[in-house]
Every structure is written in C-alpha cells, then in structure tokens.
A and B are shown apart, each in its own frame.
Chain A
Amino acid sequence: MKLLKTALLPLFASALLVFVFTSCDPEPEVPNEEELITTVEYTLTSGAETVVLRFEDLDGDGPNDPVITGGSLTSNTSYSGSMTLLNEAETPAEDITTEIEEEDTEHQFFFSSTVTGLSIDYADTDDDGNPVGLQSTLTTGSAGGGSITIILRHEPAKSADGVADGDITNAGGETDIEVTFPIEVL
C-alpha cells in the first residue's frame, strides 16, 4: 500500500504541473533589426546621365532571392559614384550611410571589376587620411560587358600592405556587404 502511495504522489504532482503548464505561451517580440542593411545603391553620375546600381534583399538571410539591378554605362566616360545603404525593413527606411560616415575609420569599400578598362578609384578619405569609398570615381574604357563587385569591410586593417590602394588581400575584417552587379559598357 505504501508503495502505491509513493507511486501516486509523483503522478499527481506531474499531472498538476502539466495542467499549470499548458496554459502558458511564449510571447516573443519581433526584433527591430536596426543594424540590418537591406539595400545598396551605387549611384553613378556623369553630367546629365545617372545610373543607379541597386541590390535589395528585404528578408536578410531568408530564402527570398535578392533583387539586383545592373546598369549600362557609356564608354570612355568618368562617373562620380556615391554609395547609399538603406534598411528598408523599417518604415520609413533607415539610412545606414550616416552610420558608416560616423565610423569611417573602421570601414572601407573595395571595388573590383571584370569589365576591361573599367576602374574605380576612391574619392574620399577618413579622419586618418585613408580611403573609405562612400564617394568614388568610376572610369570606363572601351565597350564591353562584365560585372563589378563591391565589398564593404568592417574593421579592416587599413594600414596593411596595399589596402589603402584598394587591394583587399590583407584587409581582413568582417564583410558587411558583398554585392555584384552586371554591367554593360556601350
């Protein structure tokens, strides 16, 4: 009998806990992802001509594919390039560009291109006199096609060999952005 009592006690306790428990639901808060970058806009202007290269991925690491808009450029032309970073997951969209400006010594864009004759040079410097890349100059050569890749690194070693000239090899740091745009030079 004693054995029966001993066995009943835990059963009763468990049943009680089950009852109490089933009434509680977790209530998570949707985080406000203010650090997220959803959109990169690289605006190229030459006189009256404006080309906007745009990469937009609203679901971040989610399964939806990003929307990539490439562009057509005129051969043998010099464009001034300006970078805009947005978080469009918020309404209204948040401008992340200012965050980069404030921490310009900790950030650097790196440009590379598969288009023959196309080159991109820095047109700005941070507080230490090193390049940032929010402002740049893009120069096209002869007609052709390919792509340009833009990488933004956080905390790169800006003083490392070649980094100030735009060579990413020794830069290190975390990749905040790595986007590739199809380009046609007409």
Chain B
Amino acid sequence: MQAAKQTLKLLSQLKFCKTILILILLCHTYISKAQECNLFIEGRVLDETTQQALGFVNVIIQELNVGAVSDENGIFRIEDICPSHYHIFISHIGCSTKKLHLDIEENTFLEIYLDHTPISLDDIVIEGNAINKSAPNEAISKDEINDNLDKNLSALLENEAGVRSLKSGSTIGKPIIQGLYGNRLVIINNGVIQSGQQWGNDHSPEIDANVAKEIKVLKGAASLEYGSNNMGSLILIDPKSVDPVRHINGRAAYQFSTNGRGHNVNLQLQKANEGISWRGVGTFKRFGDAHTPDYYLTNTGFSELDGALLLEHNWAEKWFADVYMSSFNTELGILRGSHVENVNDLQTAFERDIPFYTNDTFSYQINAPRQRVHHHLVKATLSYFISDNEWVEIIPSFQQNRRKEFDIRRGGRSEQPSLSLDLNTSAIDIKYTKELDSGRKISTGSLTSITNSRNVPETDILPLIPDYASLTSGLFGSIAKDWGAFYADIGIRYDYVFQNVATFSNGFPKEIIRYRNHFHNIGIASLSSYSFEEDQSISLNIGFATRNPAINELYSNGLHQGVSGIEEGDPNLQVEQTIKSVLEYSYNPSPRFLLSSTLFYQYFFNYIYLSPTGEVRPTIRGAFPVFAYHQNNASIRGLDLSIQYSVTNAFIIESQVNILEGRDLDNDIPLIYMPSNRLGTKITYRYPRPFNFTKLNIDNFEISWDHTYIARQNQLLDSQDFAPTPEAYYLMGVKLSANFVFSSYSLRSFIQMENVLNERYREYLNRQRYFADELGRNFQIGLAISF
C-alpha cells in the first residue's frame, strides 16, 4: 500500500518535477525507538542520469547545524542525532540546493538522486518519464532564478547557450532561441501556451519568472505536444509541485540594484497538507531611470506587481488535481528620447551623442511613452491514473491579456492610450499517456483554444492590428522506445486554425473588410539518440513543421510607433514551412569534464518577414519608409558549443561559443534581427564543503568571474538598416555569494557587479541602439531567507 502510494505520488509529480527522486528506506535493524540522541542518518547520492555515485555533495541538517560530505562512493553519514523533525539541505556544484523535511525516529538510510549536470539529458515534459531522453535541454535552476529577481524572463534566459534577447531598452526583452523569436517561439507557462502580444518586437513575455522553480529551453523539434506554430524551440516555465514539507515554509528575498536604484521583493510561502497543499508567490519591483556610463536614460523606470497561487490535491490514489492562478502587472517607461516620428527625426536622433530629453537627475517617474500590461491566467489540471503506467490529464485554462501603450500626444491625450488591446484565450488540453512493457510509450492528446482579440475603442487612433477571433484545434500522438543505449521517438501533430478578422479599408472613408481564413498545420518530429563508450552520446533530431501566418503578418496596417515605418501586412501570405535538424554530441569522460555541442540547420519555405519595400510614403508628418511582409525561402544555421572543466573540486571553468547565421536564400541577403556571435567564459571558485567562520556556518561559498564578448553583427548590409550595426563589445561581471545556515533558517546572500569596466556599448538586438548606450556599471546586493 505504502509502495503504491509512493509510486503514484512520483507519477503525479513526473509531469511537474523530475529532477529529484528520493527514496527513504527505514532501517529496522536497530532499535526502533531511540531513547538517546544516538541515531544516525546515512545515505548515498547518485547522479540521476548516469547513475554514478556523486562525491562532494554537502548534506546539512539545518536544525542541528551539522553536516557531512559524501565520499567518492557517494556515501555520507551523520551521527548523534536526536529523534525529531529536521530539514536537510543537499547541495552540490552545478545543481540547486534541495531541501528535505524528515521525521527522524529511527536510523535512516537515504538514497538521493541528483540531476547534477547543468546541461542534462533531461526528459522533456511531454512524456515526463525516465525512459525518455529527448534532446539535451538547458535548464535554469531555482537558485539562478532567485538570484536574478530584477531580470525579466528574457534576460534570465540569456545566460543559456544559444539564447539571446531582442530588446527595447533595458526593461523590454523577448527571447531569441537559435534565431527564432516572437510568433515562432512558444512559451509554456505551467503547461499552458502563453497567449500574449508576441508579435510585437517591443512586447516582453507577460510572465514573472519568479514563479518558476525551473525554466527550461527545449531545443529540437520534439515538443509537439505544445501546439502549432512551434518551429523547433520552446521555453517551459515550470513552477513545480509544492515541496513535501508539512509546515509553512518558504522564502523571503530582497534585492537592490544601484543602476536604476531598483528594489525587488519576492515572497514565497508553501505548505503541503493531507488535503490541499498550497503555494503562494508575490513579487514587487520598482526601478527608476537607468544610467549609461555617461547619462541617465530618462523615463526608463518600471514597476511590477505579480502574484501566483497554486493549490494541489491528491485523493483516492487515482486522482490528482491542481489549480493555478497568476497575475502579472507592469508599467514600463520607454526612453523619452527614442520617441521619434519620421526618417529625418530618426537620423537626427542617431547623430546625437546624448538622446534628446535627457535629464541630469534621477527619477522614478514613468511618463509617456509607456506601456501598461496586465496578464492573468487561471488553469487547472486534473489527472486520472488508470494504472501506475497509464494516465489521462485534462487541462482547462483561461488567459486575459490587456495591453495599453501611451505615446506623447497632443491636446492632453498622453493619458489616453494610443494602443489598447484586450486578448482573451480559453483552451482545453487533453492528454493520454501509456507506458507499455519493453520501454515503449505512447502519448496522444488534443488541444483546442479560442482567442478573441479586440481593440478597445478608447484610443481614437486607427489600430495597427485588427480585431479578430481565432480557433485552433489539434491532435497529436507520439511513440517512444528505449533500448537502453539506443533511444528513438516519433510524433505527429495536426492543427486546424480558423481566423475570423475584421480590418479597416486602406482608403478614406474607412470601411470594414472581413476575412475568414482556414489553415492546416502539420508537425512531425523524431529523435534518435545513442550512448556509447559510457561517456559519449549523440542525438539527431529532425522535425518538420508548418506555421500559419499570424494576424500581424496578414493585416497589420499603419505606422508602427517608434520604428519610424509604415507596416503593411499581406492578406495573401501562405503557410510557412520549416525543416529543422539538430545534431547534438556530448562527451563526459569524468565528472570534471563535460563537452556539449549542438549543430543546427533550419530551412524555411516561405519564411515570413518584414522588409523595406523601397517606397517612401509622403504623409503630413513627413516621409516614412514602407515595410511589408514578404515570403522567401530562408535558412538559419549555427553552432552552440559549451565546455565545463573542473580544475579542482573547487575551481570550475565554463566556456560557451554561439555562432549563428540567417539568410534570405531567394535574394541572397542576410536576415535581420539575427544574433551576432558570442563567446562567454565563467570562472568559478566554490569552497567544496560547509565551513565555520566566527561561529557562522557557511555553505555554498562561491566567487565567480564572468566574461562575455559579443561580436559585431557584420553580416548585415548597410541598406538593411537605418544605421551601421554597433561595434563588438566585451563585458565583465563578478559575483560573491554564500549561504549562512542557522538552526531554523538559512540566509542566502550575494553581492554582484555587472559591467565592471563601465563599458560604453550598444547592442544590435536592442532597438534603443539608435538613440542611447546600454547600461553602465551596476552593483547589486541580494538577501534571501529560506525557512
């Protein structure tokens, strides 16, 4: 009975968390009730992926302030323990600290599996099972998320190989993965496809990264479960289940950044119960004007207030349910001097050293131009376990996205939004999974979603994006088989997309023109991987996908504020098709050395992109270049290479190289907004075990020194941009962090400096590059109490 329950719990957690599996085996060989404080905890730590013993893992009993370090066989032992409730921390280089809550009444043996490789052969979330070995994925751990409270989702992901940000100033950023972003990149927030205004290059994903316990980048085409328009990469934001700790526990954190004088507060509370387990997360951020090495970036402050609540219930051993609600609210200032109208204004702004409207003083004030964004999500998951290896999940969800953008307007209208969009999305997702014998597994499901997008008639401006309603309905199925060293899976997905659009005619007077579009999207993906000679593995991922043109690509019409261009959609665009192949190789001859390389090539038929038409349209506000959506065959190819080497147990060197090239093959010219090449190195010194310093118990003492070199985007032709692309630059950062472990809580603290050299630079992928430099030096301190 007990065993069955455990399996069930594991199964239900598979989908949400699979990084740690803990088996608690009670030894009955000793006296069952200890009279004295002479109990011991013994255990063994293994790598979840390789099953190898892990040495130098710190195991600390928080209440007693004692601990042990695992030996080369992964064995540790802590003696002289009184019977009581204890919190046990398990930490190791390259993985986040795990926390256990145990009732110790007898001598206890723990078997602990750690997912220790930073680039892990982790199972992808669709199948969520140990037999699945999908393409190597990057994961961002809880610690990393926690230490970067101030960063938006995109900036947080930038640390990962092959991920960059398309930015508008320092506060707005959208992730680019292997050259894909916006409409081509799917973001999954707790199992639900994020439905925001992804089309806009100046729209950040509307998600508070702090709700996540883990953020994963899934590369490769194996992510069919997550709907159409997924062209080969996706981001998973995973809040995970409530930790199995039966009293209120959590974390309170505060961070301060000197640049922007930013305050960040984050509070997380959770409690596991027999009935309903819960977790609540709240985040507050307030930043003022950021500062380049030389001047303030006037009106670049922002504020953010987010909250999330997770409720979980598990009953009758067959049912598992959760309800998740989150609310994201932000107000973002846009650099005042970047608000320009026609091409002449842009040229004038570009020639200035310091942007127009730069104030000499700091301010928290946010004036027009600014954005105010709200995103609310409610979702539920209901899982039914037909048996231990067969289950069904039903996931209904509702999202509401409200975006208002305020420009500098005449006649006191700056308080009246010039863009006001309401986007509501309802979806229902049904999945069935069955594990068969002999390592085979099938999964199938359907996703239906309805989206309604409306321009709120309060702007008195012709909308850039028309009102529309759309429906997506799809089915997928996949099968996987594991032969041990060899693994293969294949999946197929079909989606029907219906768009019902009401646009305005181009001329005068305005009339309503209706379009009803029907699209069919198909996705096929397969993965095969092979492990050989115990320390090497190779995998090949091949996928085919189609993406229907998005509403903005079909019908956007008008002046795109801040880009100094008139954008025109093309109602006759065809479905975009792509074939992507990803070849991964990893070599892990010892726990001290890891090499991982990813080579990818993606070919697009009818790649949809915005490009200048050559027309310069005279208007009453001067001349504007006209941009239109075109379709051409294109390719994106690149290499991501990362090496990790532990010189000693304490001294680690990590290096990353990212190379990418995108080309319009029909015109033989480069694609715009492609990341330039990057080289990054991080040197970390980490004291390998806990130590005492003037009565303080210190753990995870770490100093890191990172270097990033970003090459110039020199592929671009001069005619493809308003101004030459920015020069290459080099950034350096340092960070000192440590955990202070006390009897009933632990204190995480760090001090960090970004852009140590106060380098003046501009980044090609930041639209603000025409007007101003990037941020100068920034000091940060962070404190967090875990209890």
A residues near B, CB below 8 A?
2-3, 6-7, 9-11, 13-14, 17-18, 21-22, 24-35, 37-40, 55, 57-66, 89, 99-100, 102-103, 151, 154-155, 157, 169, 172-179
Contacts and interface: CB of A to CB of B under 8 A. Distances in A.
A66 B621 CA distance: 11
Given A21-B471, A27-B502, A62-B507, A172 B392 contact: no
B446 A10 contact: yes
A100 B434 CA distance: 70
Given A27-B502, A55-B620, A62-B507, A14 B448 contact: yes
A65 B617 CA distance: 8
Given A29-B457, A40-B620, A35 B409 contact: yes
Contact of A175 (B446, B473, B504, B622): B622
B559 interface: yes
B468 interface: yes
A18 B339 contact: no
Secondary structure of the A side of the interface? loop
Contacts of B475: 10-11
Interface stretch (B68-76, B153-161, B459-467): B459-467
B471 A37 contact: no
Contact of B342 (A14, A21, A175): A175
Given A28-B455, A28-B502, A103-B411, A62 B356 contact: no
A28 B512 contact: yes
Q: Which of A18, A58, A175: most chain B Cβ within 10 A?
A: A175
Nearest to A179: B620
Nearest to A68: B618
A178 B444 contact: no
Q: Which of A2, A7, A14, A155: most chain B Cβ within 10 A?
A: A14
Given A31-B463, A35-B461, A177-B621, A26 B498 contact: no
A58 B498 contact: no
A106 B463 CA distance: 26
B311 interface: no
Contacts of B357: 157, 172
Contacts of B356: 157, 172-173
8 contacts: A13-B446, A21-B471, A26-B467, A27-B467, A35-B411, A99-B410, A172-B357, A177-B620
Interface in B498-544: 498, 500-502, 504, 506-510, 512, 514
B619 A21 contact: no
Interface residues of B, number: 65
A31 B461 contact: yes
Given A59-B506, A175-B345, A7 B432 contact: yes
B321 interface: no
Given A10-B428, A172-B356, 11 more contacts: A3-B432, A6-B392, A6-B432, A7-B432, A10-B475, A17-B471, A17-B473, A62-B507, A103-B410, A169-B348, A175-B621
B450 interface: yes
A24 B500 contact: yes
A60 to B, nearest CB: 7
Q: Which are the 6 A-B pairs with shortest beta-carbon distances?
A: A178-B622, A172-B356, A10-B446, A26-B467, A175-B341, A10-B430
Nearest to A40: B620
A11 B446 contact: yes
A151 B337 CA distance: 19
A21 B450 contact: yes
A103 B412 CA distance: 9
Nearest to A2: B386
Q: Which of B408, B506, B508: most chain A Cβ within 10 A?
A: B508
B131 interface: no
Given A28-B466, A155-B408, A175-B341, A61 B566 contact: yes
Interface in B388-443: 392, 408-411, 413, 428, 430, 432, 434
B187 interface: no
B448 A31 contact: no
A18 B392 contact: no
B445 interface: yes
B471 A18 contact: yes
B469 A26 contact: yes
A38 B370 CA distance: 26
A75 B44 CA distance: 100
Nearest to B474: A14
Interface of B: 337, 339-342, 344-345, 348, 356-357, 386, 392, 408-411, 413, 428, 430, 432, 434, 444-446, 448, 450, 452, 454-455, 457, 459-463, 466-469, 471, 473, 475, 498, 500-502, 504, 506-510, 512, 514, 558-559, 566, 617-624
A155 B448 CA distance: 49
A30 B501 contact: no
Nearest to A170: B356
Q: Which of A9, A21, A33, A157: most chain B Cβ within 10 A?
A: A21
Nearest to B454: A26
Contacts of A177: 620-621
Contacts of A32: 460
A62 B506 contact: yes
Q: Which of A24, A39, A100, A178: most chain B Cβ within 10 A?
A: A178
B58 to A, nearest CB: 46
A35 B617 contact: no
B408 A174 contact: yes
Given A38-B620, A61-B558, A176-B621, A25 B448 contact: no
A157 to B, nearest CB: 7
Contacts of B618: 57, 65-66
B349 to A, nearest CB: 8
A22 B498 contact: yes
Contacts of A29: 457
A64 B454 CA distance: 27
A33 B413 CA distance: 12
Contacts of B339: 174
Contact of A154 (B410, B468, B500, B623): B410
A176 B620 CA distance: 8
A25 B502 contact: yes
Contacts of B430: 6, 9-10, 13
B571 to A, nearest CB: 14
B340 A174 contact: yes
A35 B621 contact: no
Given A21-B450, A31-B459, A64-B508, A178 B342 contact: yes
Nearest to B444: A7
A6 B408 CA distance: 55
A32 B504 CA distance: 13
A39 to B, nearest CB: 8
